[in-house]
Amino acid sequence: MFYHRTGQMRIAQMAAAPSTKTTDAVMAGTSEPAETLKLTCHCTGITISLPHPPPRPLNECRCSICFSYGALWGYYYPARETVIVTESKGCTVDSYYRTDGDRTGALAFQRCSRCGCVFAWRRTDPTKGSGKMGINFRLMGEDVMEMKRIVSYK
Ligand SMILES: [Zn+2]
């Protein structure tokens, strides 16, 4: 499942930001997995909650856009894994939609509206493509440098 929430988080493990309001789940859902990994953007307004341990290897994609972002992707399959994106502190999710070079639908590259950190890509139509989405593990900080990675060009 992929959740995108604004404001107050309804899940006990995500205890931050108790005073904000409005909840806007893009995909309504079940519950957070028992063990999670949390990444945040630089200003901490966007929190990404992921299954733990993270997927390996990570992919240092060198396609034109990923190289520009400097992203290091870990892939998740929202049909069977729970990914929760939470907006707080007035930050919202902005997207850049890439539509070139692919016949399986647009890709949304998602970033924080305040600090601009790119944290994910996913298909605008989740029924197309392989069903995977990418999470930018650069947000993990320098610990990510110890993680196994591959390099691809698409
Ligand atoms: Zn931010």
What would the pLDDT profile of 37-51 be if each residue is shown by its tens digit? Answer: 999 999 999 999 999
What span, in angstroms and rounded, lies between the C-alpha atoms of 40 and 65?
A: 21
Other beta carbons less than 10 A from residue 153's beta carbon: 9
At residue 111, the pLDDT reads: 97
Q: Measured between alpha carbons, how far is residue 151 from residues 42, 58, 60, 121, 123 in Å?
A: 25, 9, 5, 17, 21
CA of 104 to the centre of ligand 1 (A): 29
CA of 116 to the centre of ligand 1 (A): 6
Mean pLDDT, range 89-93, rounded to an integer: 96
Mean pLDDT, range 80-93, rounded to an integer: 94
pLDDT over 80 (residue 24)? no
Write the class of the CATH domain 2-152: mainly beta
CA of 130 to the centre of ligand 1 (A): 28
> How much of the chain, in percent, has pLDDT values that exceed 70?
75
CB 84 within 8 A of CB 3: yes
pLDDT over 80 (residue 84)? yes
Domain boundaries in the chain?
2-152
CA of 103 to the centre of ligand 1 (A): 31
- Dihedral of CA 135/141/144/149: which sign? positive
CA of 47 to the centre of ligand 1 (A): 9
CA of 91 to the centre of ligand 1 (A): 7
pLDDT tens figures, 100-110: 766 666 889 99
Q: Please tell me whether the overall predicted TM-score, pTM, comes out greater than 0.85 for this model.
A: no
- Dihedral of CA 87/24/108/83: which sign? positive
Q: Measured between alpha carbons, how far is residue 139 from residues 6, 89, 92, 153 in Å?
A: 20, 18, 17, 21
